[in-house]
Chain A
Amino acid sequence: MTLAVALRALEGGLLIGAGAATLLLLNGRVAGVSGILANALEAQPGEQGWRLAFLCGLALPALVFGVGHPQLPASWVMALLAGLLVGCGTRLGSGCTSGHGVCGLANLSRRSLAATAVFMVTAIITVLLVRHGWRP
């Protein structure tokens, strides 16, 4: 990792934190993307507006500047399987990287610390298995 890459990561992190702080300070809401998405799909019409606005805002910079050349999943089967697991897991566990990993840790929540530790460990194990194969 070069210094430039590290600085960009840190700056991006500060921006993400600014977004989370804005939503909390002005709207009184936690910026947990899985929860906001679930409620945007399920909530009463009056409660959907700010959630849809936040989600549109998320995608807006990418619509303007492009997403670069991300290495997306190689097959749609993998994308489908991973998406289902992400959806089920974040609903059951009440949060994802943003809700538990960023906001929960910023809020010094023990629940979020536990959730973050668990999803980091299972993700690391999954990457080891997927990239480097089963070698029992």
Chain B
Amino acid sequence: MRFLTALVAGVLFGGGLLLSGMTDPANVLGFLDVSGEWRPQLALVMAGAALVAAPAFRIVRRRHRSLLGEPVTLPDRTRIDAHLLTGAAIFGVGWGIAGICPGPGIVLLASGESVAWIFMAATAIGLLITGRLRSNPG
């Protein structure tokens, strides 16, 4: 059951990315390029998504169990530390170069284009190497 619900959640999420135009790097870079002809869609997408997700967070915070009885796993860290800020800064540079972040990156694999697969393979390598370094510091 939880595979099916995760699949449905993924389809909704991926369908939304596709419909909103966020799988086209031109729209993402057009938002980030504040000096050119600005494309504000990304802000609408984020606002719309956060608006719908917000009540769900309020509900699970009160219940501590999902509607299927699964434990609710929410991030418990609150400290704004150097890892968070450095990581976000590095991510922003990569995002600004390609105009692709991990969600649209997965969707774009469906294009079959080799640059999309190279981007996601490199993302996976970056995730794995950094995870290794974080768990074995020094």
Contact with B along A16-27 (1 / 0, CB 8 A): 111111111111
Q: Closest approach, in angstroms, between the C-beta of A38 and any C-beta of chain B?
A: 4
> A5 contacts B78, CB within 8 Å?
no
Given A9-B20, A26-B2, A28-B60, decide whether A59 and B41 contact each other with a Cβ distance below 8 A: no
Assembly CA distance A38 to B129 (angstroms): 10
Query: Could you say which of B45, B46, B73, B88 has the most chain A C-beta atoms within 10 Å of its C-beta?
Result: B88
B48-84 residues with Cβ-Cβ distance < 8 A to A are: 48-57, 59-60, 65-68, 70-75, 77-80, 83-84
Q: Say which size band chain B's interface belongs to.
A: 35 or more
Tell me whether B101 and A96 are in contact (CB under 8 A).
yes
Contact between chains at B92 and A15 (CB < 8 Å): no
Query: A131 is contacted by which of B21, B36, B125 (Cβ under 8 Å)?
Result: B36
How many residue pairs link A and B with beta carbons under 8 A? The number is: 483
A123-B36 in contact (CB<8A): no
CB contact under 8 A between A56 and B74, given known A11-B19, A21-B55: no
Nearest A-chain residue to B90, judged by Cβ: A89
A46 to chain B, nearest CB (A): 11
Smallest CB separation, A33 vs chain B (Å): 4
Main secondary structure of the interface of B (DSSP, over half): helix
- A76 close to B (CB within 8 Å): yes
Interface pairs (26), CB distance under 8 Å = A12-B19, A13-B46, A13-B52, A15-B20, A16-B52, A19-B15, A20-B53, A27-B66, A28-B72, A34-B102, A50-B6, A60-B11, A67-B18, A72-B108, A73-B115, A78-B97, A81-B94, A86-B95, A97-B46, A98-B103, A106-B50, A110-B80, A120-B92, A121-B92, A126-B32, A128-B35
User: Interface on A for B, CB 8 Å cutoff?
Assistant: 1, 5-6, 8-31, 33-34, 37-38, 41-42, 49-51, 53-63, 65-73, 75-76, 78-94, 96-98, 100-111, 114-116, 118-128, 130-132
On B, residues with C-beta under 8 Å from A are: 2-26, 29, 32-36, 39-42, 44-57, 59-60, 65-68, 70-75, 77-80, 83-103, 105-111, 113-116, 118-131, 134
